[in-house]
A and B are shown apart, each in its own frame.
Chain A
């Protein structure tokens, strides 16, 4: 496959692996968090950890939108589809995400709710055009990458006067979450999460650029390397992080220069800022309430805001107390350290959200990486 296989070349991977092996100091450990689920998936899918020295450990971060979505938002969506006039458009990943009582949109659909699995915002527009008497609600979810398409959808709805179309907005912001991970007193005080550096998001950074990470690197003294989602991108980024750590540098470096600039995509950012504004706080599964970390529609676009339109209010609900998603999403625990992992919590029957999406830390471990931990558990 052209333009993809080049970034999956085993010979080059071995070369980078040798360079990493030669440059790491045996006197210390290197713990890097890949923030994004896309990186987690690449690491697991290609078995990348097998190429790294034993003292380089990857910590899977919270950059999977389905994983960090709190159960309360699923509960809200289920309340929305209880209304007979509502057609809810969702991405496939979200259908199985568990609500607070273990219910899901998939079950609501089986019981008769009008829930459609869509692949893009354009599908929602098409549905709204085809069924003008329905209330078509788009379940908007995702980081900065998926926000511009939602903004464009609202623009199109405005232009086409699609009165039935609205958005249940769950868009979240990456830098705020990274800030929260580094600053969280729980993490600092327990010393549970000694992160030496970050692999920064690929697609998110094409929109926001590398600039927003600079204050984080500076304030917390952590190197950040923005990397593409191909396995060679990740390998190269790890090498760049090792070098920064060895040289006591903490800069924002851009490995993904073929797609990311310092400024990002100005047009997309403008479009988003015209329609959305930050919420005072937004709940993240695993991180709790994070200030300025979510987006909502501006007052001028309230007619497109499903929360206003249907007067559904946020509730806070407790997660399953035995579920370690919270610690796992912060990198404080590994999936196998959760009692539920692989026993009652599996991809078929997810308890925590990390098990729901294939980009979730637990699901990726379960699907691709279990064999390594099994070996850790049972030395032979």
Chain B
């Protein structure tokens, strides 16, 4: 179905979504073909089916699903669209897989601007193209005013993982090294800087990025010595390491002074009483790597643009209490606990 054949062109500049755009009628078809298909442009969507068929290559498939409710929708370094693509790609990539296809479902509040929707859809398309993945299925729903805060996006991602790779959060072993791919807390601070009641000026932008190419060079260098990879989103590094500690039944010892944090992020956290290791990231990963190849993996990370600030921040230790502990920069020790309460709702 092409845009031709509709009586009036979609007024992207001034128009707004109304309930008819989710009704299954002509208006919806026009929105989908005029806005989403153009932004995502690929052969699967062009066929306008309710599903897309694709060939399956050798290896094992991985699949993930995710919902995006970030507020505000536009933030320094990205928007809900690019975030949804990057976040889904990263969830697939943390298995060591190459991401292939995405689906995206949009729940739109009526009166949402077409112009905003276009920017978001185009940045999704751009993020997908840059990453070499295709958005091949989608859905659009419109809800009444007040029933959704502008726009929610939910996604599914599919990828393929090479034989011999079986990363899993229960595979960390005592003595493994803990690597992070770069500075922590950038995304959370960028979002906070735009929140209505805490707005402040900062040069910090979200680190939102697709990490699968970084993962590929790490896998090339470390292979199955890489036991676990996770992207520390909500709850930050602290939550990720506590999850791994519980799933692998061990503890971690970290060196606070080795953990990369940008000065502007550190200062913001100081001001707001937050800890950068609890703040969300959208373009960073944590890898637990066997000690024999940890240095090689770290070197490969540092040679990649998305891992230039990568660091070895500690090790896995035997601990049946599964504590994540940290030697502080002050010379003492402390526990790094899960974040409790709600530091910042709707960060992604």
Contacts and interface: CB of A to CB of B under 8 A. Distances in A.
Contact of B340 (A4, A17, A48, A348): A348
A30 B321 CA distance: 31
Given A46-B334, A118-B197, A10 B266 contact: no
B325 A371 contact: yes
A142 to B, nearest CB: 14
Interface string A226-247: 0000010000000000000000
Contact of A367 (B270, B332, B337): B337
A107 interface: no
A239 B273 CA distance: 27
A47 B197 contact: no
Q: Which range contains the number of B residues in contact with the other chain?
A: 20 to 34
Nearest to A368: B334
Q: Is the interface of A mostly helix, strand, loop or mixed?
A: helix
B146 interface: no
Contacts of A374: 321, 323
Interface in A134-160: none
Interface in A107-136: 117-119, 123
Interface string B319-348: 001010101111111110100110000000
Given A119-B198, A370-B323, A10 B337 contact: no
A94 to B, nearest CB: 11
Contacts of B273: 358
Given A1-B267, A123-B197, A366-B337, A231 B323 contact: no
Given A1-B263, A4-B270, A123-B197, A10 B340 contact: no
A367 B263 CA distance: 24
A348 B340 CA distance: 6
Interface in A1-44: 1, 4, 8, 10, 13-14, 17, 44
A53 interface: no
A194 interface: no
B334 A44 contact: yes
Given A1-B263, A1-B270, A4-B270, A46 B332 contact: yes
Given A4-B270, A123-B197, A10 B331 contact: yes
Nearest to B321: A374
Contact of B330 (A47, A119, A346): A47
A50 B332 contact: yes
Given A1-B266, A4-B270, A10 B334 contact: no
Given A118-B197, A119-B197, A370-B323, A46 B328 contact: yes
Contacts of B340: 346-348, 367
A338 interface: no
A13 B327 CA distance: 14
A369 B335 contact: yes
Nearest to B325: A371
Contact of A10 (B323, B330, B341): B330
Interface string A78-116: 000000000000001000100000000000000000000
Contacts of A370: 323, 335
Given A96-B341, A118-B197, A371-B325, A47 B266 contact: no
Contacts of B330: 8, 10, 13, 46-48, 51, 231
A231 B325 CA distance: 19
A368 B84 CA distance: 34
A49 interface: yes
A309 interface: no
Interface in B246-276: 263, 266-267, 270, 273
A45 B328 contact: yes
Contacts of A17: 331
Interface in A46-84: 46-51
Interface in A340-380: 346-348, 358, 366-372, 374
A202 B61 CA distance: 58
A119 B332 CA distance: 31
A329 B331 CA distance: 27
A51 B332 contact: yes
B263 A50 contact: no
A47 B337 contact: no
A112 B150 CA distance: 21
Given A1-B267, A348-B340, A366-B337, A14 B331 contact: yes
Interface string B268-296: 00100100000000000000000000000
A105 to B, nearest CB: 13
A20 B53 CA distance: 72
Contact of B341 (A8, A48, A49, A347): A347
A1 B266 CA distance: 7
Nearest to B261: A1
A264 B36 CA distance: 63
A10 B197 contact: no
A48 B331 CA distance: 8
A93 B330 CA distance: 27
Interface of B: 197-198, 263, 266-267, 270, 273, 321, 323, 325, 327-335, 337, 340-341
23 contacts: A1-B266, A4-B270, A13-B330, A13-B331, A17-B331, A45-B328, A46-B328, A47-B332, A48-B330, A50-B333, A118-B197, A119-B197, A123-B197, A347-B337, A348-B340, A348-B341, A367-B337, A368-B334, A368-B337, A369-B335, A370-B323, A370-B335, A371-B321
Given A1-B270, A348-B341, A371-B323, 19 more contacts: A4-B270, A10-B331, A17-B331, A44-B334, A45-B328, A46-B328, A47-B332, A49-B332, A50-B331, A50-B333, A117-B197, A118-B197, A123-B197, A231-B330, A347-B340, A369-B334, A371-B334, A371-B335, A374-B321
| A-B complex: 4 closest residue pairs judged by Cβ atoms | A47-B332, A347-B340, A50-B332, A46-B330
